[in-house]
Amino acid sequence: MFKRKLKALKYEFWDQVNGKADPEHLKKLVVWLEDQKIRHYTVQDRAPLRDINNQEWEKVFEKYILDVGCPVTTTSLDKLEWLVGLAVRLEFENKLEKYQIKRDGEKTDAVVPSVKSTNPLDNLDFTSNEFKEGVQSIAKLLKIAQHPNHLITLEACSKYVAARLNPAALKNPRSLTIKGTPFPIMETEMGFDMGDKVLNNTAKALNLLYIQDLRNLQTSINEAIVAVQNITANPKTDTKAGRVGI
């Protein structure tokens, strides 16, 4: 990124600058940035900065850093990187008309070619009334309670279809039939009382959802353990690589 910024600024030796570069080269880079891009000092005031052979140049550089408002207090290389970023910003501001969109609505020529998507979903307006009515129709067909936010209703429909209308489920519908006696969760004491029947029932429903998440997590863990055991319990040995009698 450091080199790319210097290349964008059209610095001649952009590919030679790095953390291990010649300190004299880095000093020349600071002078070039001030002379060509930043121009914070007047031409006369730049004389101490240009004297890169001066033993007190580091102090001159520190003063220059403070004068341009650099907030960096770490290494000199970090401060130099901040100066490069400042130069890029000033360069952009000087050529703002080249990059910005004209106020009359006419855009400048785009450098990046336009890409047209072939996915029909990209052309849908998810906030239109037609889309909302379509989600409501699907929810009614699947007998799913509708949420005030139609996108949440659509997400519920998607989960229902993925779980109960997938190819495996359609091939064997009995696999989705819940067997056994339903647990009377609404009649069971949960160990707390919120003082309101509706709140208590809501808490019980949330507790069931939490248990379901834990069961799904445990199922995924078991599947991962089985997959690892299938690999470690059946190692493949290359007998050609072995030698006997040594």
Q: What is the pLDDT of residues 13-33, one digit of tens each?
A: 767 776 666 778 788 888 888
pLDDT confidence bin for 12, thresholds 50/70/90: confident
pLDDT of residue 117: 56
pLDDT of residue 121: 66
Over residues 111-115, the mean pLDDT reads 54
What mean pLDDT is reported for the chain?
79
Query: pLDDT > 90: what percent of the chain?
Result: 4
- Does 234 or 61 have the greater pLDDT score? 61
Mean pLDDT: which of 18-22, 66-70, 110-114 is highest?
66-70
CA neighbours closer than 13 Å in the CB half-sphere of residue 213 = 6
Ordered alpha helix ranges (H), 143-240 = 150-164, 167-171, 197-232
Residue 246 has pLDDT above 50, yes or no: no
pLDDT tens digits along 135-165: 899 999 988 888 888 889 999 999 888 888 8
Residue 114 has pLDDT above 80, yes or no: no
Ordered alpha helix ranges (H), 34-149 = 47-50, 57-67, 76-94, 96-99, 129-142
pLDDT of residue 16: 72
Residue 41 has pLDDT above 70, yes or no: yes
Q: Is 143 left (phi over 0), alpha (psi -120 to 50) or beta?
A: left
pLDDT confidence bin for 111, thresholds 50/70/90: low
Residue 143 sits at the vertex; the CA angle it makes with 140 and 147, to the nearest 5 degrees, is 70
